[in-house]
Amino acid sequence: MISNDNYHVVRQACSSLSTLVADVSVAMKLMKCDIMQPIGAVLMVSSVSENLVSVLQVVVTLAIRSDTIAEMVVTNDVLSSLKVLCVHKNPEVQRLALLAVGNLGFCPENRHELVAVEGLRELLVQLTATPDPRVNKAAARALAILGENESLRCAIGGRQIPKRGIRILSLDGGGMKGLATVQILEEIENRTGKRMHELFDLICGTSTGGIYAAALSIKSMSAYRLEEIYKNFGKVVFSEPVRKDNNSATWKEKLDQLYKTSSQSFRVVAKGSKHNPDKLERLLKDLCADEDGDDRLIESAVKNIPKVCLISTLVSVMPAQPFVFRNYQYPVGTPEAPCVTSESSGTTARVSHKQSGLIGSCKYQLWQAIRASCAAPYYLDDFSDDVYRWRDGGLMANNPTIISMREAQLLWPDTKIDCLVSVGSGSVPTKARKGGWRCLDAGQVLIESACSVDRVEETLNTLLPMHPKIRYFRFNPVDERCDMKLDETDPAVWQKLEAATKDYIENNSEYFNIACETLVQASANRDTEK
């Protein structure tokens, strides 16, 4: 029916197909039935704009379902047809063809083919200057997905990296302890007179830090506004626990119990998480909603904002690995993470390798990235799609500073890091373990080690003196008043944390001045280099 001459028949058939291929398993079956044969024929020979629009909508949907399916869609004929349709006289055909090119480029194997297509990059750059804003945005998006970052920057008049180097902001996880983080960010904004998205080239966050990273960069939000939103999040999401048994245990203690007994693991699986993730997901969808209806991470790449990445833990591969949700693609030629095939679904998944970028993606919606980054075990259910399953990024990188440095090196391999600011959510002083050493439990120690933010700080304090040109600042209050549960909602406890952070800022005022002067100087250098 796709090849029918009747526009209404084609439209109805394509509408049904788009609905069907939204399910990966169904899409895979259709691909095996050679659904691309009639689709390719229409793309190649049809002169009816309405039919092309309907068929392209199917291709756009198919291309984004999974890397496996996207790779099956690409043939020389399809690529040739899409390139021709990118300059079609109908702007909607142009836009959809560009969206299809971009969506196909999410698959690394396809991306290698697309960047090798003669004249495609030049065509995309040319289309970013067309008078139709929908067409030029789709062209810029395709450039971003293909990793043509410098071409994209020039096309949209994006910010240049100062000659002195890259400025990075790294934000720890910590649940409601993140109120300390936002208080420190407010202080930096007050002292510099600038918002975070004006001060940094890359903002990286884990869990709570991931929420902050997205809000400060993609939404260009002030730290003061972010504090209001985050307190509301805490009150809504954590106010009514789903489970009532043993709620006094911390999430690290609950993880320890999972570590010790399989029966406890079954009990948690059967009864679910402490809090209903639906509340959080509704809030995130509202927060992340885009005025154009496009809230995938890569959509923000066409804006003049910092690069941003959110760290989660991928648990659907063994061993578990850090997963980087990002609003950028690595530059052309960056080694890609290899893939493995799921025995259950037959779909492929990326895994990290020491010579490649970390496993990650820029195709997910912003709210999905945040939800995956803050899926703290016991508190919130895991987050999953048709291919992957994620848990809280704090299990792998509660302090994501080193990952942020690696991302900067992959993004700008020829540029040095100038300034690195790492902000924690507060720690408590080291003290004797309750019950004495004979009660020491190996499981608890393993969890504490995995979630520690101090080991990363110690590593950086050891290595960075060998790179004296990197100006490193770590802000993290250490105080008994920072001892707070991840899901704490008592305003009195919040006030203690805020008081501890206020004292920390006052006691380290000169350190804050040095950091802020460094950031302002770097920002001024950028302005003069434009």
Q: How many CB atoms within 10 Å of residue 358?
A: 23
Residue 424 in 3-state DSSP? coil
Cα torsion for 369, 373, 374, 375, to the nearest 10°?
90
Distance CA 188, CA 223 (A): 9
Q: How many CB atoms within 10 Å of residue 20?
A: 15
Q: How many CB atoms within 10 Å of residue 355?
A: 8
- Mention every residue, 6+ apart, whose C-beta is less than 8 A from residue 154: 125
Distance CA 409, CA 202 (A): 11
Residue type, 44: M
Under 8 Å between Cβ of 293 and 328: no
CA distances from 126 to 6, 87, 121, 137, 139 (A): 34, 10, 9, 12, 9
Residue type, 456: V
Distance CA 162, CA 174 (A): 32
Nearest alpha carbon to residue 442 among 266, 248, 259: 259
Residue type, 335: P
Pairing state of beta strands 321-326 and 307-314? antiparallel
Cα torsion for 367, 369, 371, 372, to the nearest 10°?
160
Active site residue ranges: 207, 392
Distance CA 105, CA 212 (A): 28
Under 8 Å between Cβ of 179 and 211: no
Task: Please give the structure tokens belonging to residue 332.
Answer: 């052309």
